[in-house]
Amino acid sequence: MRGKNKKPVCAYCGTDGKLTIDHVIPISRWREFGIKRRVLNNKSNQVLACVKCNQEKADKPPYQWFDLHPEYKPHFLNHAKFLSDTVRSLINS
C-alpha cells in the first residue's frame, strides 16, 4: 500500500497555494543577531511560505511575526522540522 503524498503547505498558515521560500531569520538582519550570513543562507533557516505570509513577514524576526500571528506558531513548530538549533533558539526570543 502506498503512503499518502502530502501536498506542501505554508509553514506559517498552512495554506497550499503558491509557495515561496522564506528565511525564518532574515538574512538582511544577520549582524543584529550576530549570526554569519552563510549560516542563515542554508536550508536549516528556510521554510515554505505562501506569498501572503512571506510578504507580510518581510524582514521580521520570527518572534515578532508570531507576536502578530500567534495562531501560526503551533503549525509552524509542527511543520518546520529541519531548522538549526540557532534558528530555533531565536523563534522564542
In the chain, where the domains are located: 19-91
- The residues, ordered by sequence, that sit 6+ positions from 91 with a Cβ below 8 Å of its Cβ are 24, 62, 63, 66, 76, 77, 83
- As a whole number, mean pLDDT of residues 2-8 equals 67
pLDDT of 2 reads 43
- The dihedral through the CA atoms of 64, 67, 68, 71 has a sign that is positive
d(Cα 34, Cα 27) in Å, to the nearest integer? 11
pLDDT of 88 reads 87
Of the pLDDT bands very low, low, confident and very high (cuts 50, 70, 90), residue 49 is very high
pLDDT of 5 reads 61
- As a whole number, mean pLDDT of residues 69-87 equals 91
Query: What pTM was computed for the model?
Result: 0.87
The burial of 79, by beta-carbon neighbours within 10 Å (0-12 exposed, 13-18 middle, 19 or more buried), is given as middle
